[in-house]
Structure 1
Amino acid sequence: MNWLLVIAGAMVGAPLRYLTDRIVQARHDTVFPWGTFTVNVTGCFVLGLLTGAVVAGAASSQTQLLLGTGLCGALTTYSTFSYETLRLTEDGARFFAAANVAASVVTGLGAAYVGVTLAEVLWA
């Protein structure tokens, strides 16, 4: 029955990704993919926080399946990140493509670290 938890989380994560992407991107008049960047960094933070909570015993493995695998798995998107970076390169926006890669990796890792650290503060 664990797969039902993953499905339930994904049912929320996928539309949340789409709606967040559209709302964020509509507010920025640039070729930089702010919507995808936002959902990916947010997902990294939530997954870091959740992982820290599970390690501290404050969240169950079922919660990890629901929110980590299901919600965050559907919320974040490596394929769209890759496609948008390739599109930027093909359109001659190489600076934005490089900025997308660098900012996504650095900020995503930073967000996961902040999430884990916050979980340690809250539940250690």
Structure 2
Amino acid sequence: MAVNPIRRPARAHAHRDPALLGVVFVGGAIGTAIRSLLEDAFAGPATSWPWTTFAINVSGAFVLGFLLEALVRSGEDAGGRRLARLGIGTGVLGGFTTYSTFMVETTKLSWAQGISYVGSSVLLGAIAAWAGIRAAKGLVRIGETV
């Protein structure tokens, strides 16, 4: 029988822990509410470039990249770091950013605008996530509590 050298201590999976599910739920409600308020405050014509959703998704990618890198650099995924990852990362930022609205808005654009919107959203989102990771690497020392 082979022994797994990377054995980790057993702990409850987040999807089976009601308290952690609650943290994600509350965070998601907060993120969704913020996005909805921004979408209402900065609504544009249905057939124009959806700047608000674009800005939300790109900025959310930056913050998520920063958050996850900062948490990884600060220690094990446990306690407050795990709550931050689930509550802010999965919850708030998962509710704040939006793939469904992004796709619905894409269908309202002309073919050329839609291709441009999808391509630039994916490219700038990836660049923003990378920039967030780089920023966290520059600001958070390994082992430093976040």
Q: Give the TM-score range, shorter chain.
A: 0.7 to 0.9
Tell me how far apart the structure 2 counterparts of residues 44 and 5 of structure 1 sit (CA, whole Å): 20
Range with bigger deviation, 58-67 or 78-87:
58-67
More helix by share: 1
Please report how far the alpha carbon of residue 6 of structure 1 lies from its aligned counterpart in structure 2 after TM superposition: 0.6
* TM-score (norm: length of structure 1): 0.87
1:71 aligned residue: 92
- Does the Cα contact within 8 Å between 1:21 and 1:39 map onto a contact in 2? no
Q: How has the CA–CA distance of structure 1 residues 21 and 55 changed in structure 2, closer, same or farther, with 3 Å as cutoff?
A: same
- Count matched residues: 119
2:33 aligned residue: 15
* TM-score (norm: length of structure 2): 0.75
Q: Per the alignment, in what secondary structure is the counterpart of residue 26 of structure 2?
A: helix
1:85 pairs with 2:103: no
Query: Within 5 A, what are the aligned runs for 1:1-124?
Result: 1-26=19-44, 31-57=48-74, 60-88=81-109, 93-124=110-141
Q: Per the alignment, in what secondary structure is the counterpart of residue 32 of structure 1?
A: coil
Please report how far the alpha carbon of residue 39 of structure 1 lies from its aligned counterpart in structure 2 after TM superposition: 1.0
Alignment identity in percent?
36
Listed as ranges, the gaps of 5+ residues in structure 1 are: none
Q: Which has the larger radius of gyration?
A: 2
Tell me how far apart the structure 2 counterparts of residues 38 and 123 of structure 1 sit (CA, whole Å): 25
RMSD: 1.9
Tell me how far apart the structure 1 counterparts of residues 131 and 32 of structure 2 sit (CA, whole Å): 24
